[in-house]
A and B are shown apart, each in its own frame.
Chain A
């Protein structure tokens, strides 16, 4: 028994991979549903979007992420867009990350099609805008100069919904979806300088960094990782804005079981380490 325990610390990594694969696939294949609670940070973001006046000031969603982290951020983008379009809130889309350009376009057009929304009227997508913080600052002074043409090369002035959008004063909130520090830049260069409300959707790796800004109210709210996306999906389904949970909600059971497995492996690894150290001490 002691020898077996000592071997646990040196378990072949391929066994770990197989166990993890099983912990993920079994809940997915058998559609096992797991209960999860909605975090305060996600609820605050949802509540703020829920208070935006339909056909009033639009919500700006910045797709500041690359395909590497799309698995975590795509569900958030879809959930927020469904929430907006179901309520008649207009949306401006853009991206400060080069590869977010096509990702944003695919998601915005997919959700717009679901709700029968028209480009230029109910939403406008501007694609990748190079310059990062320069664009954030320029938007505060003159949005038209920052976003001269939309993704389909239509001039700003020809987009009916952009007629009354001159700067951040005409935008209800900036929501930055990112796997890096873009939301932090939005807080500084848009939130602090121009007093526009900023929300974030962050990968789980980056989410903890934003808690100080949530506590001070510099961030309206935040969705953290795939769980954040699942929470938002849950909230819009509970409120009747959308009929069924999407991919993030379906993944929650796989996340729960894989986390349990990882906890178990950490405990067993530590047991194995201490037992083998004791055995070596005896020798």
Chain B
């Protein structure tokens, strides 16, 4: 058994959380509320030290008055709570939207559209190694068929008949396989979290696993 008090606290709180698997109970609710309170407290201190102090308090103390401009724009969000001045929150929203859209649209088009379309294309280099798992012709063809058929499934401006029906039927298979892969990964994620907790309880706490 561990002699570290923090290991004991963590282990007992883990057991409190696991007790919910049987049914809701005060031990579970205690651990849940403790976690919520701790997280909020931690975040308040962290944001104070990392946001407020270096970006507002210190610059103002150094008489860098330009800090007041972004600070005041940010504070306009608080007009949400003043019904008569409610419309003023549109100013910080407009600034944020303008900045983020201007910055991210060109980059997103390049990274998410152009590069991805490029990745869908078949090229001559794929012929050198047909079965390569990343850049082979077989994978290239599968990606091409998958993309076209999946997009055709989401084309709603025409009734799915004839070629469009055939293509969208293939598309739905690709979509389902994608969902299946995601679900499989999700199962692994949840099981991994449980395994890690068991490793903690049986290794760090009661030293049953070496």
Contact = CB atoms under 8 A, between A and B. Distances in A.
Q: Which of A40, A191, A226 has the most CB of B within 10 A?
A: A226
Contacts of A259: 187-188, 191
A281 interface: no
Contacts of B187: 259, 262
Contacts of A25: 198, 202
Contacts, number: 129
Contact of A24 (B54, B103, B195): B195
Interface in B103-129: 103-104, 107-108, 110-112, 115-116, 118-119
A68 B35 CA distance: 11
A203 B134 contact: no
A14 interface: yes
Interface stretch (B45-53, B74-82, B86-94): B45-53
Given A28-B199, A40-B134, A254-B195, A204 B186 contact: yes
Given A216-B116, A247-B199, A72 B107 contact: no
Contacts of A200: none
A212 B116 contact: yes
A269 interface: no
A171 interface: no
A224 B111 contact: no
Given A40-B134, A99-B42, A187-B111, A250 B193 contact: no
Contacts of B21: 14, 17
Interface stretch (B148-156, B166-174, B177-185): B177-185
Nearest to B21: A17
Contacts of B22: 14
Nearest to A129: B50
A81 interface: no
Bin the interface of chain A by size.
Answer: 35 or more
A83 B42 CA distance: 32
Contacts of B186: 204-205
A197 interface: no
B34 interface: no
A29 B187 CA distance: 22
A247 B110 CA distance: 39
Contacts of B182: 205, 208
B192 interface: yes
A24 B194 contact: yes
Given A130-B50, A208-B181, A247-B199, A218 B189 contact: no
Nearest to A70: B196
Interface in A184-238: 187-189, 191-193, 203-205, 207-208, 212, 214-216, 218, 224-227
Given A130-B50, A225-B192, A208 B209 contact: no
A101 interface: yes
Contacts of A187: 111
Nearest to A189: B107
A208 B50 contact: no
A204 B198 contact: no
A162 to B, nearest CB: 18
Interface in A27-43: 28-29, 31, 40
Interface in B40-90: 42-43, 46-47, 50-51, 54-55
A191 B111 contact: yes
B192 A98 contact: no
A204 B189 contact: yes
A71 interface: yes
B195 A207 contact: no
B188 A29 contact: no
A193 B105 CA distance: 12
B191 A98 contact: no
Interface of A: 14, 17, 20-21, 24-25, 28-29, 31, 40, 68-72, 98-99, 101, 128-130, 133, 137, 148, 187-189, 191-193, 203-205, 207-208, 212, 214-216, 218, 224-227, 247, 250-251, 254-255, 258-259, 262
10 contacts: A28-B195, A129-B50, A188-B111, A192-B107, A204-B192, A226-B195, A250-B199, A255-B191, A255-B192, A262-B191
Interface of B: 21-22, 39, 42-43, 46-47, 50-51, 54-55, 103-104, 107-108, 110-112, 115-116, 118-119, 133-134, 143, 178, 181-182, 185-189, 191-199, 202, 208-210
The 8 closest A-B pairs by CB, nearest first: A71-B196, A204-B189, A216-B119, A226-B192, A204-B185, A192-B111, A204-B188, A205-B189
